[in-house]
């Protein structure tokens, strides 16, 4: 992944050193498990632990790999160069490469999950803060990009909060799904290794033993995991896209953070472009494309082939590093988000009150006007208001047909924002729980 879109903690999990350290740990834990069964001398295990270098020599491993053309074998040969003579021929005995590689890969995904979950919790906290702060900040709700009825900006943020909470639950489940390891030998039959060793290694790694492996951990687990990451990315894209739309000049309801020394355009000094939100939109799309690759990895030949390997070398780090960065960036945007409540109010009244048309129509039907007749009456009045630039109430007050059913005083009372906020406490309580919905 590009350094530009990477954060140190997540990058460390996918570093070559972290991978080699984890390989070594799995290999020696397997020896330790065998020693507990009496199959190995405990001194040999101690000798292996003592041979661990402070920094693994990546160049030396590559030199060996250039000769043997096998990454895992090259690593084993490198460790034998470092280990005591009495350890020769014991390292990796009874294991196959995938025992180490797959267990390591899933361990990395588990560790990556913890970082992403923490980032999502931080993001959810910002959505919640904005939801409570703007619980009663009125704005126009839009469907198909067209003015619909009044809502509040807080409700927009509350929806994003609830969606993020669902994503946290999804990722926690995906983490559980992926937190498995295997030490089952060739073909997964344990013919060369006692299953107790697998249980011991997995316990030490914070993993569960794979219930049934072939020569690999089944890739349906990984497909589910990366699909959930894709769903999280889809949420980021949805939110960032909506915030970008609200920043359009003609709407102008919010503004992403813009520093005093920042330049919005190389040619037009007046511009404040939503570049951070656009960046998140693009990164989210990239993450979603990775899902199809993960699904394709499920269909491997027989007990194992290597067609998944090249995909996963990029898939694991690129997806988790990018998602980690995108969540972090969106959280930062929300922390500094400028909310223009006055412009929200201006937009709400921009079309002269036609956003109250539904309530007016319902009032007419309640008084006995047939539904289609009521619809046509209010539609005609609304279009007149739009075309003439008048207020809908003014048009209605001149419409005798409507006043036959609703008095002028009653019509004026229908143009009330609070009508659309009467159930807002209940919505907040449903999402946040009793006593957490904020003060009105």
Active site residues: 144, 265
Q: Which residues of 203-288 form beta strands (DSSP E)?
A: 208-209, 254-255
CA nearest 303: which of 399, 191, 218, 182? 218
52 CB-side CA count, 13 A: 18
Residue 253: both structure tokens together = 């309801």
Neighbours of 187 (CB within 10 A): 15
- In 314-337, which positions are buried (b, 16+ CB within 10 angstroms) versus exposed (e)? ebbbbbbbbbbbbbbbbbbbbeee
Residue 244 backbone dihedrals phi, psi, to 5 degrees: -65, -45
Neighbours of 30 (CB within 10 A): 27
DSSP state letter for 210: P
- 3-class SS of residue 355: helix
Q: Where are the alpha helices (DSSP H) in 134-214?
A: 153-178, 195-205
Give the whole-angstrom CA distance, residue 187 versus residue 439.
Answer: 61
- 3-class SS of residue 245: helix
CA nearest 319: which of 391, 181, 223? 223
Give the whole-angstrom CA distance, residue 302 versus residue 12.
Answer: 34
Give the whole-angstrom CA distance, residue 241 versus residue 251.
Answer: 14
């Amino acid at each position: 992944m590009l350094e530009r879109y990477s954060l140190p903690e997540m990058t460390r999990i996918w570093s070559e050193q972290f991978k080699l350290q984890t390989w070594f740990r799995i290999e020696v834990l397997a020896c330790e498990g065998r020693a507990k069964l009496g199959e190995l001398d405990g001194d040999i295990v101690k000798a292996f632990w003592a041979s661990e270098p402070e920094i693994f020599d990546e160049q030396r491993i590559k030199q060996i790999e250039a000769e043997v053309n096998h990454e895992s074998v090259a690593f084993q040969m490198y460790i034998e160069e470092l280990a005591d003579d009495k350890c020769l021929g014991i390292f990796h005995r009874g294991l196959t490469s995938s025992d180490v590689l797959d267990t390591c890969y899933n361990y990395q995904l588990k560790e990556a999950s913890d970082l992403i979950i923490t980032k999502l919790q931080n993001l959810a906290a910002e959505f919640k803060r904005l939801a409570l702060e703007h619980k009663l900040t009125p704005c126009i709700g839009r469907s198909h990009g067209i003015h619909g009825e009044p809502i509040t900006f807080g409700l927009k943020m509350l929806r994003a909060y609830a969606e993020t909470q669902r994503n946290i639950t999804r990722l926690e489940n995906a983490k559980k799904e992926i937190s498995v390891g295997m030490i089952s030998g060739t073909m997964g039959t344990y013919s060369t290794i006692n299953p107790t060793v697998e249980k011991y290694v997995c316990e030490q790694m914070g993993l569960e033993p794979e219930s049934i492996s072939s020569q690999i951990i089944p890739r349906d687990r990984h497909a589910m995991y990366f699909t959930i990451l894709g769903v999280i990315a889809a949420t980021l894209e949805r939110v960032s896209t909506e915030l970008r739309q609200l920043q359009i000049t003609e709407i102008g309801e919010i503004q992403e953070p813009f520093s005093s020394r920042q330049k919005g355009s190389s040619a037009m000094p007046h511009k404040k472009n939503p570049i951070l939100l656009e960046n998140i939109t693009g990164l989210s799309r990239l993450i979603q494309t990775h899902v199809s690759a993960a699904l394709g990895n499920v269909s491997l030949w027989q007990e194992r082939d290597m067609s998944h390997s090249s995909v996963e070398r990029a898939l694991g780090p690129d997806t988790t590093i990018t998602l980690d960065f995108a969540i972090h960036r969106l959280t930062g945007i929300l922390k500094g988000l400028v909310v223009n409540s006055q412009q929200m109010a201006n937009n709400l009244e921009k079309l002269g009150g036609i956003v109250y048309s539904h309530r007016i129509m319902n009032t007419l039907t309640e008084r006995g006007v047939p539904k289609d007749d009521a619809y046509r009456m209010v539609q005609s009045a609304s279009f007149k208001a739009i075309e003439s630039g008048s207020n809908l109430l003014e048009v209605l007050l001149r419409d005798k047909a409507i006043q036959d059913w609703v008095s002028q005083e009653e019509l004026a009372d229908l143009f009330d924002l609070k009508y659309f906020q009467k159930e807002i406490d209940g919505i907040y309580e449903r999402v946040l729980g009793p006593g957490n919905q904020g003060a009105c």
